[in-house]
Chains A and B, each alone.
Chain A
Amino acid sequence: MISTGDFSRFLETFAARIHDAKEELTQLDSAIGDADHGINMDRGMTAIMELLPGLPDGDAGTLFKQTGMKLISTVGGASGPLYGTFFLRLGTAFGTATEIGPTELAAGFRAGLEGVIARGKAGLDDKTMVDAMVPAVAALEAGVGDLPAALDAAAIAAAEGRDRVTPFVARKGRASYLGERSAGHQDPGATSTTILFESLRDALRAG
């Protein structure tokens, strides 16, 4: 079972990895977007790090709802509403539970993914964070019998999804302004989503 403390460690890990990847994300975004994805995500996750100590040791739902609300108001770019919606839906799915099993984890991430798709209206192959998140959530769902293996499979699936769409032409967001020139550039949103699933795997494995 996964405790709220485990999920706090997941958010801390994600914040630290995003901070480390800030330059890389910004550089990827400068090729096909407006060069703000690393800065925006780092600002948002830094705000989460400031938020975490003030949160009472409570349920997983509150943790992720607070995270979502904070990201919506601090990230600034399109990733604010998207990651914000993801964590809000995750929080709503977990509700007042303090211990989450593999099946609830997969269901929560499925709800988060559906929120991202509803908000951003992106589908597979549009070359967005959705292309990393769809296979990762499917891996979590397929692996509910063995959580460590499922977390590993999800992180790998996210990275494969990210790399799969690199040759594609972007159809959403600022990158779509570039048209054909976006082909061959790794997508920054799919990159940060891969970091999310790698952080989940590494934080829960450590616990």
Chain B
Amino acid sequence: MVAIVLVGHSPELLRGLRAMLAQAAPAVLVSVAGGTDGGALGTSAPMILAAVRGVLAEAPDGAVVLLDLGSAALALEMALDDLVPADRARVRVSRGALVEGAVRAAVEAAGGGPLTAVLAASEVPPGHDKLPDDWPANGTAPG
């Protein structure tokens, strides 16, 4: 089963999201790397590397990584550069929105989807079917 790694600036944000994933897809292995080593807001390449290595050791099918903001990408890239090629080849980085992408990815992974399918599930555009089709356009609802 494909695992999921959540990378972000806030440990609390990722803890909450992991709890949501545990409810939606309890069988899926989810690891988080949030905040700096001292727990401040930010990202830490060594923490990201440890999280990715941790899930890869348990999940032969690989892992999809989601990040909260583009400014986490540098630390993520640095961490992935330190993986051996065989491990790096089992990692995909998602361009999807963190919360929706992670939930969709977890559900796909729980269903046994391969790495490419879990990645694709995570990259559904933000806001896709979040609101019902007959939801009134903004500014037109009776106020």
Asked if A80 contacts B71 (CB within 8 A), the reply is no
> Does A82 belong to the interface (CB within 8 Å)?
yes
Chain A: interface residue count, which band?
A: 20 to 34
A43 B78 Cβ-Cβ under 8 A: no
Within 8 A of A (CB), among B73-99: 74-75, 77-78
Size category of the binding interface on chain B: 10 to 19
Residues from chain A with a CB closer than 8 A to the CB of B42 are: 36, 40, 75-77, 80
Does A57 count as interface, using CB distance less than 8 angstroms?
Answer: no
**Which residues in A have their C-beta under 8 angstroms from that of B78?**
72, 81, 84-85, 119
Across the interface, do B36 and A73 meet the contact criterion of CB distance under 8 Å? yes
Evaluate contact between B74 and A82: CB separation under 8 angstroms: yes
Q: Are A119 and B74 in contact (CB under 8 A)?
A: yes
Interface stretch, picked from B44-52, B56-64, B101-109, is B44-52
How would residues 103 to 140 of chain B score, 1 for a CB under 8 Å from any chain A CB and 0 otherwise? 00000000000000000000000000000000000000
A74 in the interface, Cβ–Cβ < 8 Å? yes
- Closest-by-CB residue of A relative to B42 is A76
Is B71 a contact partner of A173 (Cβ separation < 8 A)? yes
Beyond A36-B41, A72-B78, A73-B36, whether A78 also contacts B46 by CB under 8 A is: no
Whether the Cβ atoms of A74 and B38 lie closer than 8 Å is: yes
- Give the interface centre of A40, A69, A76 by most chain B CB atoms within 10 Å: A76
Task: Verify A74–B45 contact, CB threshold 8 A.
Answer: no
Closest B residue, CB atoms, query A174 = B71
* Contact across chains for B44 and A72 when beta carbons are under 8 A apart: yes
Q: Is the CB of B74 within 8 A of A75?
A: no
B9 contacts A76, C-beta separation under 8 Å: yes
B31 lies within 8 A of chain A by Cβ: no
CB distance from A38 to the nearest CB of B (A): 13
Task: Give bound CA distance, A6 to B75, whole Å.
Answer: 30
Q: B40 to chain A: which residues have CB within 8 Å?
A: 43, 76
Q: Give the distance to chain A from B134, nearest Cβ to Cβ, in Å.
A: 33
Task: Check if B45 sits within 8 Å of A80, measured CB to CB.
Answer: yes
Q: Which residue of B has the minimal Cβ distance to A33? A: B71
> Which A residues, 91 to 137, have Cβ-Cβ distances below 8 Å to chain B?
119-120
Least CB distance from B98 to A in Å reads 16
Nearest residue (CB) in A for B9 is A76
**In the complex the two chains form, is B71's CB within 8 Å of A43's CB?**
no
Q: Which residue of A lies closest to B81 (CB)?
A: A119
Q: Report the minimal beta-carbon distance from B59 to chain A, rounded to whole angstroms.
A: 25
**8 A Cβ contacts from A56-96 to B:** 69, 72-78, 80-82, 84-85
Q: Is A20 interfacial (CB-CB < 8 Å)?
A: no
Measured between beta carbons, the chain B residues less than 8 angstroms from A84 are: 45, 78
Q: Which of B9, B43, B47, B77 has the most CB of A within 10 A?
A: B43
Q: Given A43-B38, A72-B75, 8 more contacts at CB 8 Å?
A: A36-B42, A72-B44, A72-B78, A73-B36, A76-B42, A77-B71, A80-B42, A82-B74
Contact surface of A with B, Cβ cutoff 8 Å: 34, 36, 40, 43, 47, 69, 72-78, 80-82, 84-85, 119-120, 173-174
A to B CB contacts below 8 Å, 23 in the list:
A36-B41, A43-B36, A43-B38, A69-B46, A72-B44, A73-B44, A74-B38, A75-B42, A76-B43, A77-B42, A78-B74, A80-B43, A80-B44, A80-B45, A80-B74, A81-B45, A81-B74, A81-B75, A82-B74, A84-B45, A84-B78, A119-B77, A174-B70
